[in-house]
Amino acid sequence: MTPVVMSLDPKNPYETEALVNQYMEFHYGDSYFGVENYPRRCADLCLQATAALPRRKALDLGCAVGRSTFELARFFDSAIGLDLSARFIGCANHLRLHRSLDYAKPIEGARTEQKRAELSPLGLDEASSRVDFAVADACELDRRYTDLDLIFAGNLLDRLYDPGRFLRSIQERLRPGGILVISSPYTWLEAFTPREKWLAGYAGSTGYVSTLEGMRRILTPGFQLAQPPVDVPFVIRETARKFQHSIAELSVWRRAQ
Ligand SMILES: C[S@@+](CC[C@H](N)C(=O)[O-])C[C@H]1O[C@@H](n2cnc3c(N)ncnc32)[C@H](O)[C@@H]1O
């Protein structure tokens, strides 16, 4: 197995101060334009999808600074958050251990506002004793991440260097009947994924293939789409006057018994 990348990669945008601050605000800060907190909304949809199942172990892949992992731990016996960014995992771990973390919310230019993320007002204090975070590559998962009841991959798919490999390897991690939830705005970019690895946008025998169809081709017959996909909007604040407003599609897949 390829060793897990443990060092801070200066070319990885998710290791930069700017994105740490952006994701701290995205996960623990204010809501904008009336759009609900995305990690919380996704975790709620994961909980709905697993309502009739045992909720022992959940895995949150590409967890960033950890909000959805904490949210899942409200209902699961344990929740593990994994991310390739050592810096993001450092923030998530700091929150787990100290229940709060300060960050700088950008206003304009070099001007920032000091903010504090706190678990307690979010009702996540108690859940924090059931989470674990680690640096890991979702395309090369260690064997210990197995026997899972839920895998959630939020806005991860189109940031992977090999999303097909990720999807092909994920089935064996879940218990039979376990649930895979994938949420993504399908923003394929060569900066993250070589074009030949994109799951969509290429011509198939019946026209252009969507990402949902690309996923279905890889995931079936081991998985079945458990319910119609839903849209989940999200807003990432860059500065006081610049925001990214995207609409992810969230699909729920059940592993065959
Ligand atoms: C667009 S962010 C989404 C983060 C979080 N799930 C959310 O919705 O806010 C993509 C995340 O995937 C992580 N990532 C990228 N490639 C990865 C890989 N191969 N394995 C694990 N995490 C990865 C990045 O470090 C980043 O935290």
Length of the chain: 257
Residue 68 near residue 100, CB atoms below 8 Å: no
* Ligand 1 mean position, distance from CA 14 (Å): 8
For residue 150 the two structure tokens come to 């839920």
Indicate if ligand 1 lies below 6 Å from the C-beta of 83: yes
Q: Rounded CA gap, 56 and 110, in Å?
A: 45
Q: Rounded CA gap, 88 and 16, in Å?
A: 9
Indicate if ligand 1 lies below 6 Å from the C-beta of 84: yes
Of 6, 22, 2, residue with least CA distance to 14: 22
Residue 27 near residue 117, CB atoms below 8 Å: yes
Residue type, 92: A
Helix (H) or strand (E) holding 248: strand 242-255
What's the pLDDT at 36?
Answer: 98
Segment 67-79 shows an average pLDDT of 98
Percent pLDDT > 90 in the chain is: 90
Q: How many domains does the chain have?
A: 1
For residue 168 the two structure tokens come to 């092909």
Nearest residue by C-alpha to atom 16 in ligand 1 = 160
Helix (H, G, I), strand (E, B), or coil: what is residue 137? Answer: coil
Is there a domain that residue 5 lies in?
A: no
What's the pLDDT at 101?
Answer: 98
Strand ranges inside 138-241, DSSP E:
148-154, 174-184, 203-204, 207-208, 223-225, 230-239
Q: Rounded CA gap, 134 and 85, in Å?
A: 9
Residue 141 near residue 169, CB atoms below 8 Å: yes
For residue 61 the two structure tokens come to 């892949």
What's the pLDDT at 202?
Answer: 67
Testing ligand 1's pocket by substitution, the residue of 159, 161, 162, 166 carrying the most ligand atoms inside 8 A of its CB is 159
Nearest residue by C-alpha to atom 13 in ligand 1 = 62
pLDDT in tens, 98-138: 999 999 999 999 999 999 999 999 999 999 999 999 999 99
Is there a domain that residue 6 lies in?
A: no
Q: Where in the sequence is the domain holding 251, given as residue range(s)?
A: 13-255
pLDDT in tens, 177-230: 999 999 999 999 999 999 999 998 766 666 788 999 999 999 999 999 999 999
Indicate if ligand 1 lies below 6 Å from the C-beta of 155: yes
Tell how far CA 90 is from the center of its chain. 16
Residue with tokens 């923003």: 187
Q: Rounded CA gap, 59 and 144, in Å?
A: 11
What is the number of the ligand 1 atom nearest to the C-alpha of 27? 9
Is there a domain that residue 3 lies in?
A: no
Indicate if ligand 1 lies below 6 Å from the C-beta of 14: yes
What is the number of the ligand 1 atom nearest to the C-alpha of 64? 27
Nearest residue by C-alpha to atom 17 in ligand 1 = 84
Testing ligand 1's pocket by substitution, the residue of 14, 35, 80, 133 carrying the most ligand atoms inside 8 A of its CB is 14
Indicate if ligand 1 lies below 6 Å from the C-beta of 85: yes
Phi, psi for residue 46 in degrees, rounded to 5:
-65, -40
Is there a domain that residue 70 lies in?
A: yes
User: Looking at the predicted structure, is the pLDDT value of residue 1 above 80?
Assistant: no
Q: Are strands 78-83 and 57-61 parallel, antiparallel or unpaired?
A: parallel
Q: Rounded CA gap, 85 and 135, in Å?
A: 7
Tell how far CA 34 is from the center of its chain. 21
Is there a domain that residue 132 lies in?
A: yes
Residue with tokens 């949210």: 71
Q: What share of the chain is helix, strand, coil (3-state, %, to 5)?
A: 30, 30, 35
CATH number at residue 91: 3.40.50.150
Segment 227-244 shows an average pLDDT of 97
Testing ligand 1's pocket by substitution, the residue of 15, 27, 83 carrying the most ligand atoms inside 8 A of its CB is 83
Percent pLDDT > 70 in the chain is: 95
Is there a domain that residue 4 lies in?
A: no
Is there a domain that residue 8 lies in?
A: no
Indicate if ligand 1 lies below 6 Å from the C-beta of 138: yes
User: Looking at the predicted structure, is the pLDDT value of residue 257 above 50?
Assistant: yes
CA distance to 64, 136, 190, 198, per residue, from 194 (Å): 22, 20, 5, 7
Is there a domain that residue 1 lies in?
A: no
What is the number of the ligand 1 atom nearest to the C-alpha of 12? 25
Q: pTM for the whole thing?
A: 0.95
Residue 218 CB contacts under 8 Å (≥ 6 apart), including other chains:
164, 167, 168, 199
